[in-house]
Amino acid sequence: MIPLLLIRHGKTDWNLQKKLQGRRDIPLNDEGRTLLSGNRIPEAFRSFRWVSSPLTRARETAVILGGTDVEIDERLIEMDWGAWEGHTIRELRETLGPSMLENEKRGLQMTPEGGESPADVQKRLRPWLLSLKEPTIAVTHKGVIRALKSLAYDWDMTDISPVSFDWNCAHLFHVRDSGSLNVEQANISLEQI
């Protein structure tokens, strides 16, 4: 099994406004950089290979946390929120009404207009999981981590998550040769410098 440590990028202005960022290349804000700069990856993971989403907020996070020779992999890009990008869930519920609520109830099959579903994200990630050959740290996005969490727990996203993830922590998965995975340890605190 291959260890895979997943980390969500640091805070951006859109995170603070609760806007769906999707593929929009929003950088970290000053608060995000400051919070990250006081942390590093725990010692047990420092020899791992680093890989990142191509979006600036993920690449910045990897470098601030000590990533060297960080590889970029397009498959780690955030879920495509289509027409929903730039809006809050609250705004969408008010604007789209019952159709939004029905779409949300679809869990893994929830699909924003012109975007991709969490199930689509899983399909894009499966070949990436199979390609892993060494212990890896991946800096990516909430939608990507939730899609992998869904695979690990066989969670269809129609109800409450079986385990709560703290998005300021790292999460250790193990990837099997088949590409399936399990969560070894959730909510691993970063070390303070």
Kind and range of the H or E run holding 4:
strand 2-8
Amino acid, res. 82 = G
Q: Is 9 a catalytic residue?
A: yes
Measured CA to CA in angstroms, residue 120 lies from 4, 5, 34, 38, 115 at distances of 21, 22, 34, 35, 9
Which of 43, 60, 74, 78 is catalytic? The answer is: 78
> Residue 6 and residue 168: Cα distance in Å, rounded?
11
Residues in contact with 47: Cβ distance below 8 Å, sequence separation at least 6, in sequence order: 135
Strands (E) across 41-135 are located at 49-52, 71-72
Q: Is 78 a catalytic residue?
A: yes
Please give the positions annotated as active site: 9, 78
